[in-house]
Amino acid sequence: MPFQPALLIVDVQEDFCPPNGALAVTDARDIVPIINDFLAMPFALKVATKDFHPRDHISFASNHSAPNNKPFESTITIQNPHNPEETQVTRLWPDHCVQGTKGAELLPELDVGKVNHITEKGQDKRVEMYSAFADPFKSPCVAKSDLTEILRKADITDVYVVGLAADYCVKYTAIDAQNEGFKTWVIGDATKAVDPSSMDGVFKEYEKAGVTVIGKDDAQVQRVREQPQKAQE
Ligand code: VGL
Ligand code: ZN
């Protein structure tokens, strides 16, 4: 059985972190040392993703009118721009990860020199895109990133997911990775949730999708450590 593992670091950006993030997740910076340990391991490919929105993005509460425009609280129904019959109910957020702003930057303490590729997502103002693979619409899909192609080109078999936020972008990215045919492992202690009380529900969805949650010292991580180092590294 071939084993070609990739590390996928989801949205470790200033706006998702204290002290200044617009959508700061509690204790989010605490996971960076663990992620840097993972970056030192011999993964075949290391990818970081960035939430990367235009100012007029549909998920920003500021782009909607009162009273249904409260960040973290209000929800809206989004129509597939190519198919009004396909709709999706989604939460509104404070403005975050706006292209060109400090909030969109990866954390400076992240060992970004070891990252092979950065995938940007959420650029299409018309759709929410939690998954680093694609927006949630299916008929048809509206916005697709380069991620599937990048992973396939490197013959990746297994994807190890870390980052932010556990209950949004990490969740949808991990489920899509598994559905794309990569055996997907989420490192539970290298993620933090917007709403930690929602995680039981997330674990159930993982079980249904075939995603496995493991700890940072799990045997599956040991398997990566024991990989032969690639010549290019
Ligand atoms: C995210 C909310 C809005 C995330 C992105 O990275 O989890 N959450 N946009
Ligand atoms: Zn976003």
Provide the 10 A C-beta neighbour count for residue 71.
17
State pLDDT tens for residues 62-75. 999 999 999 999 99
Distances (CA, A) of 76 to 31, 58, 116, 130, 137: 31, 9, 36, 15, 15
User: Is there a contact between 94 and 60 (Cβ–Cβ < 8 Å)?
Assistant: yes
At residue 180, does pLDDT exceed 90?
yes
Among all ligands shown, which has an atom nearest to the Cα of 99? 2
Task: Give the binding-site residues of ligand 1, using a 6 Å CB cut-off.
Answer: 11, 16, 23, 51, 93, 130, 164-165, 168-169
Q: How far apart are CA 92 and CA 95, in angstroms?
A: 9
Q: How far apart are CA 9 and CA 38, in angstroms?
A: 10
State pLDDT tens for residues 191-230. 999 999 999 999 999 999 999 999 999 999 999 999 987 6
Q: Which atom of ligand 1 is nearest to the CA of 167?
A: 7
Q: Model-level pTM greater than 0.95?
A: yes
Ligand 1 mutation target, pool 49, 164, 195, most atoms within 8 A of CB: 164
Taking the centre of ligand 2 as the mean of its atom positions, its distance from the CA of residue 224, in whole angstroms, is 30
State pLDDT tens for residues 96-107. 999 999 999 999
Taking the centre of ligand 1 as the mean of its atom positions, its distance from the CA of residue 128, in whole angstroms, is 9
Question: Helical H runs in 140-195?
Answer: 147-153, 169-179
Q: How far apart are CA 178 and CA 184, in angstroms?
A: 5
Q: How far apart are CA 16 and CA 19, in angstroms?
A: 9
| Beta strand pairing call for 183-192 and 117-121 | unpaired
- In order of start, what are the domains of the chain with their CATH numbers? 5-53+99-232 (3.40.50.850)
Taking the centre of ligand 2 as the mean of its atom positions, its distance from the CA of residue 97, in whole angstroms, is 7
